[in-house]
Structure 1
Amino acid sequence: MGQSRQTSELSAALRRSAAAFAGVAGISGLVNLLTLTGSFFMLEVYDRAIPSRSIPTLVGLCILALVLFVAQGALEALRARILARIGTALDADIGARVFYLSVRAPLYGVQSEEAGQPLRDLNQIRTFLSGTGPTALFDLPWLPAYVALCFLFHPLIGAVAIGGALLLGALTLLTDWTTLRPSRAASEHAAQRHALFEAARRNAEVVAAMGLHGALCRRWEAAHHDEIDAQQRTADIAGGFGAMSKACRMALQSGVLALGAWLVINGQASGGSIIAASILVARALAPVELAIANWKGFVAARQSWRRLSLALHHLPAATQPMALPAPRATLSVEAVSMMPPGTHLVAVYDASFRLTAGQALGIIGPSASGKSSLVRALVRVWTPLRGRVRLDGAALEQWSAEDLGPHIGYLPQETELFAGTVAENIARFQTDPKALAIVAAAKAAGVHEMILRLPEGYQTRLGDRGAGLSAGQRQRVGLARALYGDPFLVVLDEPNANLDSEGEVALTQAIRGIRARGGICVVVAHRPSALAAVDLVLLLADGRMQAFGTKEEVLRRISRPVDVARAEQPRKSA
């Protein structure tokens, strides 16, 4: 039931173009009727103009045929334009949804390299709709009409047309069956090759420093060759059946000529009917041949449709909740348990605490204790396995992402900026940001002076992932982005990992500024300097809360076992 419901989400986008499809169907009917122009023109020339030796009749037939051919060409061009716009309309209708799906896919355990597959699938579907493949599908229903006309010329000619259609249909089914596995394998090998390239690109420094070029290149070449081999098998099979269908159609056309000649010799048909029937049979079988020629694109579009439908099923479209007032008072964590996406291990067990406006919490603990998993729940990056996170009593799920975002500031462990100016990154790429708010955020993060020293100040353009800035500079600009707009909840995950002493002082001032304006700050820290401005501390170990309270109380409890161990060490050595 769920799969069919989500599949209908993709189908609904096409159904919104139902009128355009109806127009294409109507135009296809007119085009197929006008396609008979050539057959009937030859019939009239051989049976009327030549026997009567009438030049006016021949001229009249030529003018009429020319007008009909021009009309046919204009209608075919119009049909192609409509199909292209149907593909564009599909992209415009569901493109933003698919982009959102691709962006959020890594948060649900999908590998980053595979996250862009829905966008590629949408592009494949749009390309197919804009090509000649749908034209063949709209022409195929007219095949029985052409066969019926062949029977009007003579039953034997109709029988030959039916036999040819069945033969080409069998070739079409064989093409589908034999290309399914290699085309699927080609897609899988392409994904592997792309994933390997992306991993090597992201770790270019490690690859260069440790001489991994050769090993990675060999792995890339193996995946690349597998993809090429699969593509070649698909192309060879499709090309072979395409050539067979073309040869069969030409043989059938010649066979119809021979059959027509036999019928004329026996006085059962006219001379003009020979040429007309030959053209008609060729036109009747042309859609089948065109379908075979476009079968590779049809198979690829069908696979993309299935993958995209499955992706939409895994991430349904969120309903727009009722707007809520901006949070101003509390952050409540109620028995939250976290399981990272794509794993079966619980990282956090039943964490519960409550913070009020003006408080700052430092989360400490050994590596892999669940600190980052917990803060990802606070900013709704991950959904808790159990429990709730609430702002002013409302669960985070009661906000839409667009409504909640301005109230949240988040600085992850690995700070990555986007291609654009420094100002655009700080302003979170808002359409019309206020310059004063950008400068205020930069000053709150203590990064205003540093930005002014850049070549073009706030208008300095950054490359992908913030290329052009050092790791420490990226982290400080990321902090300014987190503080932009004075969000109520600011979550900083190891914010001093790449900071120097000046940056750490600025960080401490930023946390104090959040508290002073009535916000809540949560800091994940490995270095004690990040805790200078917090008043509460939470100790995590093995995913469980070991201590929660004032900074002095928790740090005193942590340091007491260390002091006892140091006091007992000389006794043991003695």
Structure 2
Amino acid sequence: MKPKNPVLRDELQAVLWSLRREFAVVGVFSMVVNLLMLTPTIYMLQVYDRVMVSQSHMTLLVVSVICLFLFGVMAFSEWARSLLLVRTGVKLDQMLSQRVFKGTFLAYLNPSDSAPAKAFGDLTALRQFLTGNGVFAFFDSPWVPIYVAVLFLLHPALGVLALVFAVVQGCIAWFGHGLSKEAQRVANGAQSETQGFLSSKLRNVDVLVSMGMLDGLYRRWRDKQVKALLLSGDAQQKTGVLTAVSKFVRYTQQSLSLGAGAWLVVVGEISPGAMIAANVLMTRALAPIDLLVSTWPNFLSTKEAYERLRTLLQLSPPGRTDVLKTRPVGQLSLENVTVRLPGCAKPVLDGVSFVALPGTVTVVLGPSGSGKSTLARAMMGIGLLPEGRVLLDGRPITDWTRESLGPYVGYLPQDIELFDGTVAENIARMGEVNSDAVIAAAEAAGLHQMILRFPKGYDTPMGQAGSFLSGGQRQRIGLARALYGEPSLVVLDEPNANLDDEGEKALLNAMHWLKSKGANVVLISHRPGVLSVADRVVLLQDGQLVASGPRDGVLQALKEQR
């Protein structure tokens, strides 16, 4: 019967468990290495106690050849386990990189205390620890009792001395953990806060430079940097104390073991060969513990990285499994949708229900802060998980994988971000470029002639085009991206916020184009010009649905209320 897998708490633990065979093989090679570490001890005993007494050259030659062979086997085992760990680290990265990549983006959709920007650094830290010296200490530590047992065979006093030093070094590692763990955690948090503060401000460099805000920003950054340096220095000081004490114990152990062996030789308890062998063996016996102490700070930081990765994967579970195989009609139904921010009693959206039909334009109106953008994200199945249901063609929009659903939906958020690549690649959503579909989307957004005036037309790198694009032009490229592929459902959040009269006219033409294609368009806006293309109007206020229905009926009801 196959042994049952243990109950795995999380996805990251399951991935590490799937690599158990690789780690088991590393354990076998570690067993060979540690057994063959006894070779120098045995060789010394043979040379001092057999060869020196017998004066036999042949015995020395045979013993030396056997020793060299065993050293070769040990070197091969060292190389093999290092190579296997490196390949295991690569395999771990391949198993997690896609999940971490997607999880990093998905984590930004939900307010939390996680640090998604650190995700790949955390994955690298975990991989490097599993392929570095620190993990060898964990594989070698179980062999410490074997070495101590051999010392007991040489003489009980040597075994007792090794046990004493093993306990002392173990206590150093244990107390060092309590001494440095909290200090290291606080220092890492302060350093991350400092780096995050600076990187977030670099995105607004034009505002900072133009209005002379750098000096004030520097003072704020300097205060955070000084605090981080002080905390880091405190953590390093505590770690330095741990390292210094560990070195003192190690040097004391080397000297005392040699002195104890010499005393035993003087009283006739052991031979000179056993004295030298015992000194080497005791050093080897305590080496894994010493390595544990020296790599302890790295272990602590890797443990924090592991916890952050685990939290990230928990916040962005794979979830969707069904693949959308046919083009959806595009009917969107919201049933009692409620969205709450963590820690806030009042919901951002409170029991919103309405239906948006294919081939129509539904305009969502409402003052700032009424929950319109939150509604747009809920309709796209992103952001905070809502209470109630958001249905696309009668099924929850979150049922399908985003990769299969994405080509059939278009989304234009308020903040337009264009990515590295050409204009055509940005419109094609950074996928394979279908030239006809790109041009059709650009023409629908009224961009075709403007793009042809770029230095390389559709092949212009966005790094060049982005430097001279206005906010309205960037918004229209974002609109073309949303229209790419003639999606069945299009959600536009304030698409005319940065548009001039020409841009707004192009937007209205795009709405007519989408309606002619049978798309379901939900347009969020505070400008009345878009009402001319509206079939239905939804009015939000303080997160609640105030009115919903055909355009003329809703507008008439609002006039009567006034």
Same fold (TM over 0.5): yes
- Alignment partner, residue 457 of structure 1: 457
- Alignment partner, residue 139 of structure 1: 140
| Structure 1 segments unaligned to the other structure (5+ residues) | 563-574
Count how many residue pairs are aligned between Structure 1 and Structure 2: 557
- Alignment partner, residue 570 of structure 1: none
- Alignment partner, residue 252 of structure 2: 251
Shift in Å at residue 468 of structure 1? 5.2
Shift in Å at residue 401 of structure 1? 1.8
- Alignment partner, residue 92 of structure 2: 90
Within 1, Cα distance between the matches of 2:465 and 2:283? 57
Within 1, Cα distance between the matches of 2:465 and 2:231? 35
CA gap of 1:559–1:345, structure 2 versus 1, over 3 A, is same
- Secondary structure of the residue aligned to 1:545 is strand
Check conservation: 1:359, 1:534, Cα contact below 8 A: yes
Correspondences of 1:152-171 after superposition (within 5 Å): 152-171=153-172
Look up the equivalent residue of 2:383 and give its one-letter code.
Answer: W
- Alignment partner, residue 111 of structure 2: 109
Within 2, Cα distance between the matches of 1:428 and 1:502? 25
Within 1, Cα distance between the matches of 2:230 and 2:128? 24
- Secondary structure of the residue aligned to 2:334 is strand
- Secondary structure of the residue aligned to 1:116 is helix
Deviates more, 1:146-155 or 1:58-67: 58-67
TM-superposition CA deviations, 1:32-89 (whole Å, max 9, x none): 1121122122222222222333334334433333333233223212212212222222
Look up the equivalent residue of 2:127 and give its one-letter code.
Answer: R
- Alignment partner, residue 298 of structure 1: 299
Within 2, Cα distance between the matches of 1:56 and 1:225? 69
CA gap of 1:114–1:524, structure 2 versus 1, over 3 A, is same
- Secondary structure of the residue aligned to 1:388 is strand
- Alignment partner, residue 278 of structure 2: 277
CA gap of 1:75–1:305, structure 2 versus 1, over 3 A, is same
Correspondences of 1:17-36 after superposition (within 5 Å): 17-36=19-38
Within 2, Cα distance between the matches of 1:9 and 1:177? 28
- Alignment partner, residue 9 of structure 1: 11
- Alignment partner, residue 366 of structure 2: 365
- Alignment partner, residue 408 of structure 1: 409
CA gap of 1:467–1:146, structure 2 versus 1, over 3 A, is farther
Check conservation: 2:12, 2:310, Cα contact below 8 A: yes
Shift in Å at residue 226 of structure 1? 2.6
- Secondary structure of the residue aligned to 1:521 is strand
- Secondary structure of the residue aligned to 1:7 is coil
- Alignment partner, residue 203 of structure 2: 202
Within 1, Cα distance between the matches of 2:197 and 2:330? 47
Within 2, Cα distance between the matches of 1:421 and 1:288? 55
- Tell me, yes or no, if structure 1 residue 538 matches structure 2 residue 541: no
Shift in Å at residue 414 of structure 1? 1.0
Deviates more, 1:152-161 or 1:319-328: 319-328
Look up the equivalent residue of 1:451 and give its one-letter code.
Answer: I
Check conservation: 2:116, 2:312, Cα contact below 8 A: no
TM-score for the superposition, normalised by structure 2 = 0.93
Shift in Å at residue 156 of structure 1? 0.5
Within 1, Cα distance between the matches of 2:28 and 2:284? 19
Correspondences of 1:306-385 after superposition (within 5 Å): 306-321=307-322, 323=324, 325-328=326-329, 330-340=331-341, 343-383=344-384, 385=386
Within 2, Cα distance between the matches of 1:383 and 1:195? 23
- Secondary structure of the residue aligned to 2:391 is strand
Within 2, Cα distance between the matches of 1:20 and 1:217? 49
Shift in Å at residue 502 of structure 1? 2.0
- Tell me, yes or no, if structure 1 residue 118 matches structure 2 residue 119: yes
Within 2, Cα distance between the matches of 1:323 and 1:489? 14
Match of 2:70 among 51, 68, 71: 68
TM-superposition CA deviations, 1:218-275 (whole Å, max 9, x none): 2222222332333333333223322322332222222122222221222211111110
Deviates more, 1:139-148 or 1:290-299: 290-299
Within 1, Cα distance between the matches of 2:123 and 2:402? 24
Within 2, Cα distance between the matches of 1:20 and 1:382? 38
Check conservation: 1:6, 1:313, Cα contact below 8 A: no
Check conservation: 1:263, 1:269, Cα contact below 8 A: yes
CA gap of 1:329–1:266, structure 2 versus 1, over 3 A, is closer
Check conservation: 1:107, 1:341, Cα contact below 8 A: no
Look up the equivalent residue of 1:217 and give its one-letter code.
Answer: Y
Check conservation: 1:418, 1:466, Cα contact below 8 A: no
Identical-pair percentage: 40
- Secondary structure of the residue aligned to 2:332 is strand
Shift in Å at residue 101 of structure 1? 1.7
Within 1, Cα distance between the matches of 2:239 and 2:468? 48
Deviates more, 1:551-560 or 1:291-300: 551-560
Within 1, Cα distance between the matches of 2:413 and 2:300? 41
TM-superposition CA deviations, 1:85-142 (whole Å, max 9, x none): 222222211221122222111221137x933233332222112112110000000000
Cα RMSD of the aligned pairs, angstroms, is 2.3
- Alignment partner, residue 439 of structure 1: 439
Look up the equivalent residue of 1:295 and give its one-letter code.
Answer: W
Match of 2:43 among 34, 41, 64: 41
- Alignment partner, residue 552 of structure 1: 552
Shift in Å at residue 525 of structure 1? 1.3
TM-superposition CA deviations, 1:511-540 (whole Å, max 9, x none): 100000111111111222233322222222
| Structure 2 segments unaligned to the other structure (5+ residues) | 1-5
Shift in Å at residue 383 of structure 1? 4.7
Deviates more, 1:296-305 or 1:321-330: 321-330
Check conservation: 1:336, 1:384, Cα contact below 8 A: no
TM-superposition CA deviations, 1:464-516 (whole Å, max 9, x none): 99555322221111101101111111111111111222211211111100000
Check conservation: 1:238, 1:292, Cα contact below 8 A: no
